[in-house]
Structure 1
Amino acid sequence: MHSINFKRQGGMPGSARLRDCDVLRKITCRQAEENSLYGAICAAPAVSLLPWGLLKKKKVSRGLTTSRGPGTSYQFALSLAEQLFGESVAKEVAELMLMRTDDDNAAKKEFNKVEWSVGHHTPSVLVPIVHGSEEIEVVTVVDILRRAKAKVIVASVEKSLEVLASQGTKIVADILIGDAQESPYDLIILPGGTAGAQRLSKSRILKKLLKEQNSAKRIYGAVYSSLAILQKQGLLKDKRTTAHPSVLVKLKDEEINGAKVDIDGKLITSEVLATVTDFALAIVSKLFGNGRARSVAEGLVFEYPKECM
C-alpha cells in the first residue's frame, strides 16, 4: 500500500494558513521522519516547510518533492504520480494530457485577425460547468483570467451550484445558468471533459446564449471535447480550429490546424487540458495585450511563448 502523498499547495496567504495549522505540521513532519512522500509547490516550501525545519539539509527527506509555481504544477503532479505508481503510469497520463517534451507545434496560430475590443468596461467572461467538466480546464481558465483582472462568472448548468468534475473534484459555481442569461458576456468559454461536454450540449439556455453570442459578433471558444458543441451549432463553419485527436472525427468537415491554440476572428480553440494555460494566456493577450499576458505568465512561473513577445 502506498504511503500518503501529502501535497502542500502554494499561494502566499494560503501557505501561511497551512503553516499555522499544528495538525498539518505534525502530519507532514511524520511523513518526513518516515521517509514517506510529501511535497510542496509555489510559496509553500519556503513559507510552510522551512519554518517546520523540513528544508534543513540534514533533515530533508528522500520523499520530498517541490516545484516553483502554478505554471509547473503539471510536471510536479506527474513527478508525484511516477513516485507513487511508476514511470509507465506517469507516461500514460502525460500522453493522455498531450503533454509535449518538444516544441513541434506552435503555441498559437491566428487567422482573420481582428481586435477583441470590449469598450471601456472590464471584460466579462462566462464559463459554464456541469457534472463531468474537466476541472483542470475550468480552474486554469478561471484563475488566469481573474489574475488578469477580467470579470469571470462560473455558471452551473446543473440544478445546484456545486458540480462534480471529471476526476471527482467538487467545484462551486457563482450562479446558475438561468441567472446567467440575464446579462451579455464579452466572451463565453466552454471547458472540455467528454461527459461534461455531452451534458453542456443538452442545455437550451446555453444554446441560446451561444447563438446570441455569434449573432452579436462577440467572442466565444472551447477546449477539447466541447468543440463538438460549437460544431453542432454551426459555430465552426468556415473557421479554423485546433482539436484533440479524439475529437477530430466529429470535426471532419472543419479545417483543423496543429497549434496548441487557434484564433480565427472571434473564435478561440485549444487542443486539450495540457494546452489550457496557453489558451487562457492567449485570451489575456487578446483582451489586455501581451504585456499583461506576460506579467501573468511570470507570476505563474510559466514560460510565455517567445512568438508572443
Structure 2
Amino acid sequence: MPKVAVVFAPGCEEVEGLTVIDVLRRLGIDAKMVGLEDREVLGAHNIKLTCDELMGDQLLKYDLVAFPGGMGGSKRLRDNEQLKRLMVQRNREGKWDAAMCAAPIALARYGLLDNHDYTCYPGMNEEIQKEVPSARFHKDITVVDEEAKILTSRGPATALAYAFKIAEVLGVDTKQIKKDMLYDYLAQNI
C-alpha cells in the first residue's frame, strides 16, 4: 500500500489537510500528518492539530507528499528551504507531489511548475504566473500533470476530490469509498 505525507504548517487550511488524511486512512493507505516546524500546529481557524512526525529527510521515502492550502501555511511551505530541497529531490526521483488552494505557490517557488499544468485558489494563479510564467493554469477542480507527477486542486470545497485523486494517482480504486461517503450522490445533486 502506498505511503503519503501531508505537511501541515501554521496557518494551514485545516479541512484541506484533514480531509486527505481521513480519506486515505479509510482506504487503508499509510497517511501521516507531518508538522513543518513542530508536531503541534495551529491552523488558520485556530484548530490545534497534532502531527505524527516532524518534517525531515523521511519525506523522500513517501510515495506522495501533499500540501494543504491556507495563506499563512502556504507561505511557510513556500519559504522553507529544507522543504524546498526535499521537494526538488523528490521531483528529480519521479515521485508524486500534490498541493491545493494557495499551496501551489510553494511548488512554483521550488521551480516545479515550469512548463506544467496546475490549478489553485482563484487569484493565486496571478502570483504563480509572476513566479513561473511558463506554468499553465486551468480552472478544473483537480489537475494532474503526469509528466511532472504533480496534482493540484482549487480550495476547501474541492478537498474530497483532491483526496480521491491522490489515491487514484497512486493506483488505489476509489469507486466504493466515493459511494460510501456519498460523494457520488453529492456530485449528482449539487
Q: TM-score, normalised by structure 1?
A: 0.56
* CA contact 1:161–1:176 (8 Å) conserved in 2: yes
Deviation at 1:178, TM superposition (A): 3.0
Matched position secondary structure for 1:222: strand
1:286 corresponds to which residue? Answer: 169
> Counterpart amino acid of 1:242?
T
1:206 corresponds to which residue? Answer: 83
1:239 corresponds to which residue? Answer: 116
Matched, 1:185 2:62: yes
Task: Give 1:165's match in structure 2, choosing from 34, 43, 62.
Answer: 43
Deviation at 1:166, TM superposition (A): 0.5
CA distance in 2, matches of 1:231, 1:179: 21
Task: Give 1:148's match in structure 2, choosing from 11, 14, 27.
Answer: 27
Q: Deviations over 1:19-49 (max 9, x none)?
A: xxxxxxxxxxxxxxxxxxxxxxxxxxxxxxx
Matched, 1:256 2:133: no
CA distance in 2, matches of 1:130, 1:213: 19
* CA contact 2:78–2:110 (8 Å) conserved in 1: no
Matched position secondary structure for 2:165: helix
Deviation at 1:168, TM superposition (A): 0.6
Matched, 1:229 2:106: yes
CA distance in 2, matches of 1:279, 1:215: 23
Deviation at 1:204, TM superposition (A): 2.4
Task: Give 2:156's match in structure 1, choosing from 273, 289, 292.
Answer: 273
CA distance in 1, matches of 2:87, 2:126: 23
1:301 corresponds to which residue? Answer: 182
Q: Deviations over 1:60-84 (max 9, x none)?
A: xxxxxxxxxxxxxxxxxxxxxxxxx
4+ residue runs over 4 A deviation:
none
* CA contact 1:155–1:180 (8 Å) conserved in 2: no
Task: Name the structure, 1 or 2, with higher relative contact order (CA <8 Å, separation 6+).
Answer: 2
Matched position secondary structure for 1:263: strand
Matched position secondary structure for 2:34: strand
Cα pair distance change 1:171/1:237, threshold 3 Å? same
Deviation at 1:179, TM superposition (A): 6.4
How many pairs were matched up?
181
* CA contact 2:98–2:166 (8 Å) conserved in 1: no
Task: Give 1:219's match in structure 2, choosing from 90, 96, 100.
Answer: 96
Deviation at 1:205, TM superposition (A): 2.3
Q: Deviations over 1:95-150 (max 9, x none)?
A: xxxxxxxxxxxxxxxxxxxxxxxxxxx21111111110110001001111111111
What do you get for the CA RMSD once the two structures are aligned?
1.7
Unaligned regions of 5+ residues in structure 2, if any? Answer: none
Aligned sequence identity (%): 29
Deviation at 1:171, TM superposition (A): 0.6
